[in-house]
Amino acid sequence: MAELAGLVFGVVLFARLHNLAGTDIASATANAHALQSVERSLHLDVEAAANDWLAGQPVLVQVGVLYYRLYYLPLAGVALWVLFRHPEVYRTVRRVLMALLALLAFWLVPMSPPRFAAAGIVDVVAEHDLLGSTASRDLSNGQNHFSAMPSLHVAWSAVCAYAAWLALQDRYPRLAWLAWLFPAGMVAVVISTGNHYVLDVAGSAFLLITSIVAVRRWERFRRSPRRAGTREKGCRA
């Protein structure tokens, strides 16, 4: 129960700090325009084309909005599953989340999403939102609307897949790889709905890989014979 309480507290604290970061609209807009310029120079500016295509697919629009809004459900389900059924995986994933420096990025580099800062983008989620047509555009609702870099939708869905992959890879290796379809679908959704840039996704991948590598090295260090010998000497002393 202590782990569950810690999980809930961590989510609430993260949400609070995340929302406090989204106040500098001018910087967020300037950073978005700079990012768009970089994407154009790299020929990665596919957001408008993807958004235009999705806006013309009524069925996929509904699927995309559901995917975007309800992704917390599989995330919560996997978190509770590994917490109670695979505690060793939960501890690893918890460390990965703690090492993920997304909040620092939000504070240092606020970023307007394409739906606010890119010309010609249709705000697909706002037009078909489960929470009402103004929910995703209401700047006075206390939420952070200027945290496009990195994409938490992509990062958290990838953490969810990583947790499932760790838990299943030994007994069900093929099923474990299927877990990565979840973040792959999220990448397509956040770009085509106008909520994130391609480089937001790249930023999420970079932070997540960095976090995983750091945690794996820490866990390997803790299990090393040298570390074990140091602990034994400390106990004898």
Considering the domain boundaries, does residue 152 fall inside one?
A: yes
Q: What's the confidence (pLDDT) of residue 189?
A: 97
Considering the domain boundaries, does residue 83 fall inside one?
A: yes
Considering the domain boundaries, does residue 9 fall inside one?
A: no
Number of domains in the chain: 1
175 close to 56: Cβ distance less than 8 angstroms: no
Residue 147 parent element (H or E) = none
Q: What's the confidence (pLDDT) of residue 96?
A: 92
Query: One digit per residue, pLDDT tens: the chain, 237 residues?
Result: 677 787 788 778 777 777 777 678 899 999 999 999 999 999 999 999 999 999 999 999 999 999 999 998 999 999 999 999 999 999 999 999 888 888 888 888 899 999 999 989 999 998 887 765 555 566 656 577 888 999 999 999 999 999 999 999 999 999 999 999 999 999 999 999 999 999 999 999 999 999 999 999 998 888 877 555 555 554 554
List the one residue out of 112, 114, 111 whose CA is nearest residue 49. Answer: 114
Q: What's the confidence (pLDDT) of residue 12?
A: 81
Considering the domain boundaries, does residue 45 fall inside one?
A: yes
Helix (H, G, I), strand (E, B) or coil at 111: strand
The domain in which residue 29 lies consists of 24-136+144-209
Considering the domain boundaries, does residue 81 fall inside one?
A: yes
Q: What's the confidence (pLDDT) of residue 140?
A: 59
Considering the domain boundaries, does residue 218 fall inside one?
A: no
- Quote the CA–CA distance of 147 and 97 in Å, as a whole number: 17
pTM above 0.75, yes or no: yes
- Quote the CA–CA distance of 82 and 166 in Å, as a whole number: 10
Considering the domain boundaries, does residue 34 fall inside one?
A: yes
Joined tokens for residue 226: 């040298």
* Per-residue b or e along 100-109, where b marks 16 or more CB atoms closer than 10 Å to that residue's CB: bebbebbeeb
Considering the domain boundaries, does residue 39 fall inside one?
A: yes
Q: What's the confidence (pLDDT) of residue 185?
A: 97
Q: What's the confidence (pLDDT) of residue 231?
A: 52
